[in-house]
Chains A and B, each alone.
Chain A
Amino acid sequence: MTLIETRSVEIRHGANTVLHDVNLSIERGEIVTIVGPNGSGKSSLLRALIGAIRPARGSVTRKPGLRIGYVPQSLHIDLTLPITARRFLSLPRRHASADVDKALEQAGLPDLHDRQMADLSGGQFQRVQLARALMEKPDLLILDEATQGLDQPGSAAFYRRIEEVRRDLGCAVLMVSHELHVVMSASDRVICLNGHICCEGKPEVVASAPEYRAIFGSGTGGALALYRHDHDHHHDHACDHDHEAAE
Chain B
Amino acid sequence: MLDDFLIRAALAGLGVAVAAAPLGCFVVWRRMAYFGDATAHAAILGVALALGFSMSVFTGALVVALAMALTVSALSGRGYAMDTLLGVMAHSALAFGLVAVSFLQGVRIDLMAYLFGDILAVDKTDLMVIWGGAMLVLALLVWRWQALLTATLGSDLAYASGVDPKREQLVLTLALALVVAVAIKVVGVLLIAAMLIIPAAAARPLSSTPERMAAIAVLIGMVSALGGLKLSFMLDTPTGPTIVCVAAIIFSATSTIGLINRNAA
Residues on A lying within 8 angstroms of B by beta carbon are 47, 50-52, 68-70, 72, 75-78, 80-84, 87-88, 91-94, 114, 116, 136, 142
7 residue pairs, one from A and one from B, having the closest CB atoms? A70-B160, A52-B159, A50-B160, A92-B150, A81-B29, A92-B161, A82-B207
Query: Contacts A91-B149, A92-B146, A116-B208: A52 and B163 contacting too (C-beta < 8 A)?
Result: no
Segment touching A, from B93-101, B209-217, B231-239, B247-255: B209-217
Nearest CB to that of A86 among chain B residues? B209
* Inter-chain CB contacts under 8 Å: number: 73
Q: Chain B residues near A93 (CB, 8 Å)? A: 146
Chain B positions 4 through 43: 1 when the CB is less than 8 Å from some CB of chain A, otherwise 0: 0000000000000000000000001111000000000000
Quick one: CB contact mask for B145-156 with A, threshold 8 Å, 1 for yes?
Answer: 011011011111
Task: Please give me the residue from chain A that is nearest to B203 by CB atom.
Answer: A82
**Alpha-carbon gap, A77 to B149, bound state (A):** 11
Given A69-B160, A72-B156, A83-B210, output 4 extra A-B contacts at Cβ < 8 Å. Answer: A51-B160, A72-B157, A82-B209, A91-B146
B155, A52: Cβ atoms under 8 Å? yes
- Whether, in the assembled complex, B204 has its beta carbon less than 8 Å from a beta carbon of chain A, the answer is yes
**How far apart sit A52 and B163, CA to CA, in the bound complex (Å)?**
10
Which residues of the partner chain A approach B152 to less than 8 Å between Cβ atoms?
81
Q: Give A83 to B161 CA distance when docked, in angstroms.
A: 19
Contacts of A76 in B (CB 8 A): 154
Contacts of A81 in B (CB 8 A): 29, 152-153, 210
Q: Mark B205-247, 1 if CB is under 8 A from A, else 0.
A: 0011111110000000000000000000000000000000000
| A92 and B210 in contact, given A80-B201, A82-B204 (Cβ under 8 angstroms) | no
A52, B146: Cα distance in complex, Å:
19
B86 located at the interface, meaning its Cβ lies under 8 Å from any Cβ of chain A in the complex: no
B: which residues have CB within 8 A of A?
28-31, 146-147, 149-150, 152-163, 201, 204, 207-213
Query: Contacts A50-B156, A75-B157, A80-B29; is A92 near B147 (CB within 8 Å)?
Result: yes
Q: Which residues of A contact B213 (CB under 8 A)?
A: 82
Contact, CB under 8 Å: B160 / A75: no
Check B158–A83 contact: CB distance below 8 A. Answer: no
* Closest A residue to B265 using CB positions: A119
* Known contacts A80-B201, A80-B204, A82-B204; A87/B210 CB under 8 A: yes
**CB-CB < 8 A to A69: which residues of B?**
160
- Please state if B157 and A70 are interface contacts (CB–CB under 8 Å): yes
In the assembled complex, the Cα of A81 lies from the Cα of B27 at a distance in Å of 11
Alpha-carbon gap, A142 to B30, bound state (A): 25
Shortest beta-carbon distance, B36 to chain A, in Å?
14
Most buried by B among A68, A82, A87, A136: A82
CA of A133 to CA of B209, assembled, Å: 20
Q: Give chain B nearest CB distance to A48 CB in angstroms.
A: 10
- The answer to whether B146 and A78 touch across the interface, beta carbons within 8 angstroms, is no
